[in-house]
Amino acid sequence: MSRNIKVIILIFAMIVTLVVVGCNHEEPPAGYPVVDREIKIPVDFKKRGPEADLLPPLLHSEGFEQPRPLPHPVNTAGAEDCPVISSDGQTLYFFFTPDVRVPPEKQLLDQVSGTYVTHKNADGWSIPQRVWLEDPGKLSLDSTLCIQGSEMWFCSAREGYTGVNIFTAERVEGQWANWQYVGDRLMKEIQIGEVYLYGDELYFHSDRAGSKGGLDLWVTSRVGDCWSDPVNIEPLNTTTDEGFPFVSTDGQELWFTRTHMGTPAIFRSIRINNSWGEPELILSQFAGGATLDDAGNIYFVHHFFENGEMIEADIYVAYRK
């Protein structure tokens, strides 16, 4: 198993919970169960806030306000992870599992762990709803990676496949459907990890041959049904890990996660004359997986650690000034 796939599995293992009021659930599509996440949260889990965080995220840029966690019903006593914000800032996808201590192979069985979506309204964020990305009755553990128009890319551990693979889905009549495996060209030959689709360019991290060390950022281009040989984004890569890419809507900013002072941190590179510039540190101390809306607000995941153990993860936002 390649290291980039192991990283995705590790991400699943580093994820926890979401509280919800069961009586306010929308009805799921026909054939799928009604999901109430609140009753799955272990009774010994207590919500942590910034005041109890021993290692809070640190802001290194004057262009943003201090980061803050999103309120309930998005964040809960468990962990929310892998945020994907829409360009208008009104829709948020994220991964949820009720107990970080449970290994992914058991999360697969609980009917709760997986992708959720919430919408911003006049009262705040709506109660998150489960996004089903597999046929009724089949097991899958899914996490959204990126959405471009009516095309979703997501990673999934599911029946019929070995380990974690990447799939696409299509938005049809308000539901995600027509999911399909991205193919061996991307998964086995190019060895993609976490991905971000920008136009027909697929940015991804991988420790494939040619990497400087650990995970590197790469890009491949789609022409019809074919993918080009990947190109290492050399100016951004170091001997440590670089991953979890995000490209701004205008294509001028590339955001990614790099290990900094021993923990994940968020960096930004600006495109200058069609080349990526020197990365700038924006957020550090267990901050990663940045995704931005068109207003430039940063949504990211922050993991809480106590006594060397991850106990919770929340989705934070740093608003652009």
pLDDT in tens, 191-202: 999 999 999 999
Split at pLDDT 50, 70, 90, the class of 13 is very low
pTM: 0.90
Question: Is 191:228 a contact under the CB 8 Å cutoff?
Answer: no
CA nearest neighbour of 279 among 245, 305, 230: 245
Contacts of 169-178 with CB under 8 Å at 24 or more apart are: 169/133, 175/29, 176/131, 176/132, 176/133, 176/152
Read off the pLDDT of residues 79-92 as tens digits, 9 standing for 90 and up.
899 999 999 999 99
Please name the amino acid found at residue 52.
A
Q: What is the pLDDT of residue 5?
A: 45
Residue 12: per-residue pLDDT: 40
What is d(CA 242, CA 237) in angstroms, rounded to the nearest whole number?
Answer: 6
Mean pLDDT, all residues of the chain: 90
Per the structure, the count of domains in the chain is 1
Per-residue pLDDT of 176-223, as tens digits, reads 999 999 999 999 999 999 999 999 999 999 999 999 989 999 999 999
Range of the domain at 57: 3-318
The mean per-residue pLDDT over the stretch 29-48 comes to 86
Phi, psi of 222 (to 5 degrees): -100, 125
Strand arrangement of the beta sheet that strand 175-181 belongs to: 140-148, 151-158, 165-172, 175-181
CATH number at residue 150: 2.120.10
pLDDT recorded at residue 63: 97
H-assigned helices in the chain? 3-13, 104-107, 184
Nearest to 206 by CA among 181, 180, 230, 236: 230
Strands 91-97 and 79-85: antiparallel
| Better-predicted residue by pLDDT, 91 or 52 | 91
Confidence band, pLDDT 50/70/90 cuts, at residue 3 = very low
